[in-house]
Amino acid sequence: MKAGRQRKILDIIKNEDIETQEDLARALKSVGCKVTQATISRDIKELGLIKVPRRNNVFCYAQPVGQPVPNGEECLKRVFRDSVVSLDFSENLIIIKTPPGGAQAVALAIDNMGWREIIGTVGGDDTIMVVVKPKEAVSDIIKKFSDLLSGK
């Protein structure tokens, strides 16, 4: 969801002159993304967008030259390293512990990865429950999560 929306934002600013967040909201709406101003503001910050002069001294959003498109896995690695305290599992459930207030960001990053073995997450304040199907895939997911924690 987030990664797809951010890809749409990059496509829009590449093909259109977008001067304001309101312009960007309208352009996103025209391609089927209804977003709030706060979401657009966060996306602009996460994408590292800047305003550059265009014709007639109009300033429009652009992606800085040489800046790569955000990678969901890099985001997940960063969030894991910064927020995950511990991992545990039972059957087809993985429990991830974070400091207070950290669970939502980690759960969102996991959801945005779109791993087919993960059928959902539930993020509380400091705990995330990850539901895995089939349960035989839990060890693979735990390995992926452990690798993220270690920076691999």
pLDDT exceeds cutoff 70 at 117 = yes
Q: What is the pLDDT of residue 89?
A: 96
- Asked if residues 40 and 21 have their Cβ atoms less than 8 Å apart, the reply is yes
- Please report, for residues 21, 27, 49, 60, 89, the alpha-carbon distance to residue 56 in angstroms, rounded to integers and kept in the order given: 20, 22, 20, 11, 59
CATH number of 27's domain? 1.10.10.10
For 34-82, the pLDDT digits (tens) are 899 888 988 888 888 888 887 777 888 888 765 554 556 777 787 888 8
| pLDDT bucket at 116, cuts 50 / 70 / 90 | very high
Q: What is the pLDDT of residue 72?
A: 65
Please check whether residue 67 lies inside any domain of the structure: no
Please check whether residue 89 lies inside any domain of the structure: yes
Average pLDDT over residues 8-32: 92
Residues 6 and 34 in one domain: yes
Of the CA atoms within 13 Å of residue 5, those in its CB half-sphere come to 19
- Asked if residues 124 and 103 have their Cβ atoms less than 8 Å apart, the reply is yes
Structural domain including 79 reads: 72-150
Q: What is the pLDDT of residue 76?
A: 78
2 SS3 class: helix
Q: What is the pLDDT of residue 25?
A: 94
